[in-house]
Amino acid sequence: MAEDNEILRCVWDSYLPVAFHLSDNDLYSIKNPEPYFVNKIIVYFSHFIDSSSKSPINLWLEYLGNPLKLFLILVRIYFSNYPIGLLYDIHEPDIDLPWNITVNFDRFPEDLIVRCNNRTLMESSFLSNLKEADALKRREPIVTTMGKKDHSQLWNAVMNHKFDQFWSINRRLMAPSSEKNTFRHIPFRFYMSSKGDLPILIQKLVKPLLETGELATYRHLIDQVLGQEYLINQQKYRFILHGIQPELDTPLQWMSEHLSFVSEIYRIDFLKPIILFVGDQLKPTQTIVLKILPTSSSYDTIKSRVNSIFIGQENLGPKIILMKDEFIVLEFLEGRALLPSDDRNDQLVRLLAQKLARLHSMQIPISKNSFRERIIFSLKGWMGKDTWLEVYHGQFRQNLEVSNCEKILSHNLERELDWLCEKILSSMRFDENLHKKIVFTHRDLNHDNIFVFENKQTQSFYDIKFIDFDYSGYNYRGMDLGRYFSDCEQQKKFSDQKIIEDKKMLQFIHYYIDENCQIYGESYRNDPINSPEQLLAESKLFVLYAMIIDIIFCIWTAMDKQEIRRERCIEAEQRFRSYLDFKNRIKDLL
């Protein structure tokens, strides 16, 4: 990193004068407190409120009647989605310094801002932003491989305002990730703001180098993300970063290294009427998809967002319109889910194989080393020993008996899972070509997650896109092939219908190999590891994997939801019968 310590220090040491006023609704003391100009506002104002009915847990800040989206923890103000500096830049035309902010201890606006006055949640948000930026900057992220000690040092340096302590670690995160001395992509966020409205976030994949090899500039960023209008009509729009308007010819790489927030994503807000960014154009839109990101989840929401950005950019999934910590707004796809009848349409099957090969060829900047753990968790961690005891020896067994689940009751599903897990893992051991089989996979390629686009006039299909990348990541290529083959031509989900024959699988595999040759050249076909027979063998093992996951899902939901318990038990039994039939069919392979 070509450091400019003076700039780095100026950004770090920037301050904003703020005067905190207690809300009239919370004033309990006869004496009206003076405005407070330092950060221990909870301690100070607690003497002037009714502590028996009001609590610091409900503390929130407002300006001109609008809640400010901040983290407030004990005695220190910090950022959540919006850093305090960004909030100031958004409201700046209306603000006289010091900025007068109202402090409330009651009537928390749950529908407008997120309650987050907990040090652990603050640190988690900080690290999440750091990981997201790092994943954009390099193919092999650094933050995820750092130890807890380094994470704590970064966080404590921010909390205690220790410049040298912070940069002793952050310098590694700012090191260029390529021979061209640049990042892979520039982490940034545009905040679109017009008076009276909450800001809207725009993100897009932007490289620090142009196709000519020259450094991309701030001007190129605005042009690429927003369009020429914003450069031509500069008097109409203001672009503010850290309270200043940078020169348009400033290189993006330099801006990212020197003007990033401590979360390593630099943020820009501007004033304009709201028009959403869809694909490569700015245009109004009537229909969008809003995806809520849960605060606690079985999947990594940061990885899910990174996956969505890259896949949308490659036109293999819906494009991102805007993104926030709590949700993603996605392009609405005017298509439909894949149907069992579509599996008999050769044109569509070929197109699906081509799209899947393209997905598998993607290089997403997430960890490539967790595929074994994901398989182990799916087969052994999802349903623990206590759960299986309940299934076979607890009250739930009665539901299986009433539903005539003879095959499930006569087999030990827990042992079956252990056997399949060991079978898959043993196929990886001592495999010198394992790295060729590990690709970026969807990992939940059921028909509902495959969208087809049809020209109704010509009755032909012209595109396929994938959706739902919450569990996507690097894994065996056979995982997606096996998932598709397990559902192919199945008239009913979780049925006992037989799996398609080898001839049908090989037809798809040949199309898949052809497209990989378009991507990598004929050398792909000539490598024995990519032969139709090899891919068929891999796929069959993961057909079993996909089917056993379906069985676990049916039992798990049956235990969780009484209203569909009998239906799910029957479906689990049907799918297990089909599983046993296919296992017997490929017994020579096993």
pLDDT: which is higher, 43 or 396: 396
Q: Which residues of 330-359 are buried (b: 16+ CB within 10 A; e: fewer)?
A: bbebebeebeeebbeeeebbbbbbbbbbbb
> Quick one: pLDDT band at residue 55, thresholds 50, 70, 90?
low
Is 497 a residue whose pLDDT tops 80?
A: yes
Give the 3-state secondary structure of residue 316: coil
The phi, psi pair for 66, rounded to 5°, reads -105, 125
pLDDT of residue 254: 85
What CATH fold (topology level) applies to the domain 1-117?
Answer: Ubiquitin-like (UB roll) (3.10.20)
Domain 121-271, what architecture? Answer: Roll (3.10)
How many angstroms separate the CA atoms of 513 and 524, rounded? 8
pLDDT of residue 294: 66
Model confidence pLDDT, tens digit, residues 562-584: 878 999 999 999 999 999 999 99
What are the start and end residues of each CATH 3.10.20.620 domain in the chain?
1-117
How many angstroms separate the CA atoms of 421 and 383, rounded? 14
The phi, psi pair for 585, rounded to 5°, reads -65, -35
3-state helix, strand, coil in the chain (%, to 5): 45, 15, 40
What are the start and end residues of each CATH 3.10.20.90 domain in the chain?
121-271
pLDDT of residue 26: 66
How many angstroms separate the CA atoms of 518 and 34, rounded? 72
Beta carbons of 493 and 457 less than 8 angstroms apart: no
Is 286 a residue whose pLDDT tops 60?
A: no
Highest mean pLDDT of the ranges 2-6, 171-175, 291-295, 442-446: 442-446
The model carries a pTM of 0.59
Is 130 a residue whose pLDDT tops 60?
A: yes
> Quick one: pLDDT band at residue 324, thresholds 50, 70, 90?
confident
> Quick one: pLDDT band at residue 165, thresholds 50, 70, 90?
confident
